[in-house]
Amino acid sequence: MSYIYREYVNVCFILKIIAMKKTNFLWMSAAFVAGSVFGIALLGLVSFSGPATPPAAAPAIVKVDSATAKSYYQNYIRTAQTSTTKVGGFAIDKDELTALTNVLADYPTLSGFRIYLGIDGSGRKVVLVIGTNAIGTENGKSVYSAVMGSHVGPCPPICDVHSPISGN
């Protein structure tokens, strides 16, 4: 009888271990699901709470027709101050470079570019980029306007005093 009792105890013990493993698995599964739901809820709360995004600004680079470009240029010329300062260089930013590459993409056979200053209809300072051929004649079919950034313009005054070229 003791052999049967011992086997019975062993089987009960094994069944108890299996039951505990199932119970632990269920608890672990429940904890995982609860943690996932809590994490997703927290992520959603953080994602949608905060300041509203401002409306998108007007594009900095736009293709304009020749008449618009001429009007921007004339707006600038009417308000430009006469300067006796020697211009040693001209600083541009990525928007102006993008305008240059846009003109070149429109007409890959161009030899160069000319950049004019202008003031658009909103009163913003802009640069007008137009392509030129080998003898300097402008191609008026593709003009891009780029809003001038705060670090764009002639040197001086937009200069780097530590420049290896023009620095002191």
| Residue 152 confidence (pLDDT) above 60 | yes
pLDDT (tens digit, 9 = 90+) per residue, 40-84? 655 566 566 566 666 555 567 888 888 888 888 899 889 888 877
Q: Report the candidate in 56, 162, 62, 161 with the shortest Cα–Cα distance to residue 121.
A: 62
The residue to which tokens 């430009």 are assigned: 80
Residue indicated by tokens 């209809």: 121
CA dist 124 → 22, 30, 74 (Å): 71, 60, 13
Residue 102, pLDDT score: 87
Q: What percent of the chain has pLDDT over 90?
A: 2
Q: What is this structure's pTM?
A: 0.61
Q: Where are the alpha helices (DSSP H) in the chain?
A: 2-48, 66-79, 94-106
Is the pLDDT at 29 greater than 70, yes or no?
no
Cis ω for the linkage preceding 51 (within 30 of 0):
no
For residue 157, is the peptide bond before it cis, meaning its omega torsion is within 30 degrees of 0? Answer: yes
For tokens 């199932």, the residue is 22
Q: Which residue is associated with the tokens 């007008």? A: 128
CA distances from 94 to 18, 83, 129 (A): 67, 27, 13
CB neighbours (10 Å) of residue 92?
19
Q: pLDDT tens-digit profile of 90-124?
A: 888 888 888 888 888 888 888 888 888 899 888 98
